[in-house]
Amino acid sequence: MKSHDQLYIDGQWVRPQQGGTFATIDPSDESVITQVAAATAQDVDLAVKAARRAFDEGPWPHMSGAERAMILRAIANGIRERQDELAALEVRDNGKPLPEALWDIGDTAGCFDFYADLADNLDGQREQNIALADERFTSVARKEPVGVAGAIIPWNFPMLMAAWKVAPALAAGCCMVLKPSELTPLTALELADIAHQAGLPAGVLNVVTGLGQDAGAPLSEHPGIDKLAFTGSVPTGTRIMQAAARDIKNLSLELGGKSPFIIFDDSDIEAAVEWIMFGIFWNQGEVCSATSRVLVQRNLYEPLLKRLVEQTERLSIGNGMEEGVLLGPLVSRGQYDKVLAAIARGREEGATLLTGGTRPAHCDKGYFLTPAIFADVPEDSWIWKEEIFGPVVCVRPFDGEAEALRSANDSRFGLAAAVMSRDLERAERVARRLRAGIVWINCSQPTFTEAPWGGYKQSGIGRELGEWGLNNYLETKQITRYDSEQPWGWYIK
């Protein structure tokens, strides 16, 4: 039976070897939701060994794609059956408004269905004949699971980020160890429970809750892991990459961003304000692809800022379970303090705070913040360049397309970007010149399981979602056969 102070290892719920726990907090009132098992290196070792056994000896990697697809679909159905309970848990653990949590849970189930279809297709596409220039040989390229995957995920979309890794890894035939964020561990445990009920063989998925240093680091360093898949911040990504380098683990990284949104002056002002708000206030701005740097063409700059402030001040802030709330609390005390410090820094750097950046009057507890709009943000300021990961938008004017592109691309990040214009030819041209892995035209943030997701530059390595997400967990093997009746005749004539 599942209990929060246990880990899911080798198909069993077990207490951590050292018996430790940590508290997970409800960010809306700062109360303790429950105590969660704190895994250490010993537990991680057991989890990796269980995954290793399941991969090396178990049926999972050798089943047909269609057989694995049946279990993936059963997981999707299990998630859908419990969607209200899971969404409410996500609201409590993360703080996000309920409609957004329901959206996430729907997408989580959809992700398992999508990769079930890809697992099905894999049966017909596993081997591809290669035309060789030398007719004495025949060759095939064969897709095989990469092995045991270690997945480490953040707290902003807890169950969805798990699905983005677990669903393609299982579809490919990998076995895995998942470590959720210590700030939002609860839905990953539910996912283990649902997978267990769906009939996933023991050891194929193991879930270890715990702190980054105590559970994440040993997972990234474990020699039994073939592939590491990480989503989180750049500094942790650097550590994971260093750990992976030691034994050349296959690696994919989804890291931070400071994504630009270019708005040309032929844009509809209401649509621009709506997408700017969706781009930075959705999920409290705790979104890696949030369009947090907005560049507005000079003619539209003042009227757009006025309308943006009016609409932003109308946003209802509160407990995510309350009807009509569009902005919940930030995830944790640490994140709240970081965002407040960034706002103070922006003011010191000479940016104009038009609204927000304070605790709302009606919230005396919890990590609530009024959404902040900075205008005239200096291009060399910290708040223009660095990821804040909260409901804080930085706005600057620009004069021409070349200036907008230069400013947008002037970043060490390259996860996402957006452009808005009625002139579609211009919008398409700009989209092709933006140095980012995801570019939205006339919108910001809509994300589809079918399309590739990932960043340029320091925003990451590799792509998740779509067929690219499956390829993350596949190796390509060449099998070449000498088919000629003639002796090879090199040494023996």
Interface pick for ligand NAD out of 37, 44, 172, 288 (rule CB under 6 A) = 288
Assess 181 for contact with ligand NAD (CB under 6 A).
Answer: yes
Interface pick for ligand NAD out of 179, 258, 396, 463 (rule CB under 6 A) = 179
Which member of 288, 387, 394, 464 is catalytic? Answer: 288
CB nearer to ligand NAD: give 58 or 390: 390
Instruction: State how far the Cα of 107 lies from the Cα of 451, in Å rounded to an integer.
Output: 13
Kindly identify the residues of this chain, within the stretch 447-466, that bind ligand NAD according to CB under 6 A: 455, 460
394 classed as catalytic: no
Assess 212 for contact with ligand NAD (CB under 6 A).
Answer: yes
Kindly identify the residues of this chain, within the stretch 389-408, that bind ligand NAD according to CB under 6 A: 389
CB nearer to ligand NAD: give 296 or 434: 434
Assess 236 for contact with ligand NAD (CB under 6 A).
Answer: yes
Shortest spacing between CB 434 and ligand NAD, in angstroms: 16
387 classed as catalytic: no
Assess 387 for contact with ligand NAD (CB under 6 A).
Answer: yes
Assess 182 for contact with ligand NAD (CB under 6 A).
Answer: yes
Kindly identify the residues of this chain, within the stretch 54-73, that bind ligand NAD according to CB under 6 A: none
Shortest spacing between CB 220 and ligand NAD, in angstroms: 5
Q: Which stretch binds ligand NAD (CB under 6 A): 252-260, 274-282, 372-380, 399-407?
A: 252-260
Assess 93 for contact with ligand NAD (CB under 6 A).
Answer: no
Which member of 90, 100, 182, 254 is catalytic? Answer: 254
Assess 155 for contact with ligand NAD (CB under 6 A).
Answer: yes
CB nearer to ligand NAD: give 237 or 346: 237
Q: What does the H/E/C string look like for the chain?
A: CCCCCCEEECCEEECCCCCCEEEEEECCCCEEEEEEECCCHHHHHHHHHHHHHHHHCCCHHHCCHHHHHHHHHHHHHHHHHCHHHHHHHHHHHHCCCHHHHHHHHHHHHHHHHHHHHHHHHHHHHCEEEECCCCCCEEEEEEEEECCEEEEECCCCCHHHHHHHHHHHHHHHCCEEEEECCCCCCHHHHHHHHHHHHCCCCCCCEEECCCCHHHHHHHHHHCCCCCEEEEECCHHHHHHHHHHHHHCCCEEEEECCCCCEEEECCCCCHHHHHHHHHHHHHHHHHCCCCCCCEEEEEHHHHHHHHHHHHHHHHCCCECCCCCCCCCECCCCCHHHHHHHHHHHHHHHHCCCEEEECCCCCCCCCCCCCCCCEEEECCCCCCHHHHCCCCCCEEEEEEECCHHHHHHHHHCCCEECEEEEECCCHHHHHHHHHHCCCCEEEECCCCCCCCCCCECCEECCEECCECHHHHHHCCEEEEEEEEECCCCCCCCCCC
Shortest spacing between CB 79 and ligand NAD, in angstroms: 20
CB nearer to ligand NAD: give 44 or 122: 44
Shortest spacing between CB 235 and ligand NAD, in angstroms: 7
Size of the site for ligand NAD (CB under 6 A): 29
Assess 213 for contact with ligand NAD (CB under 6 A).
Answer: yes
CB nearer to ligand NAD: give 155 or 368: 155
Assess 326 for contact with ligand NAD (CB under 6 A).
Answer: no
Instruction: State how far the Cα of 229 lies from the Cα of 120, in Å rounded to an integer.
Output: 23
Shortest spacing between CB 212 and ligand NAD, in angstroms: 2
β-sheet bridge partners, residue 129 = 140
Interface pick for ligand NAD out of 145, 216, 391, 414 (rule CB under 6 A) = 216
Assess 232 for contact with ligand NAD (CB under 6 A).
Answer: yes
Give 371's contacts (C-beta < 8 A, 6+ positions apart).
280, 281, 285, 312, 315, 327, 355, 356, 391, 392, 393
Interface pick for ligand NAD out of 16, 95, 154, 158 (rule CB under 6 A) = 154
C-alpha Rg value of the chain to the nearest Å: 24
Q: Which stretch binds ligand NAD (CB under 6 A): 169-177, 208-216, 263-271, 419-427?
A: 208-216
CB nearer to ligand NAD: give 178 or 395: 178
CB nearer to ligand NAD: give 173 or 285: 285
Binding residues vs ligand NAD (CB under 6 A): 152-156, 179, 181-182, 212-213, 216-217, 220, 231-233, 236, 239-240, 254-257, 288, 387, 389, 415, 455, 460
Enzyme catalytic residues: 254, 288
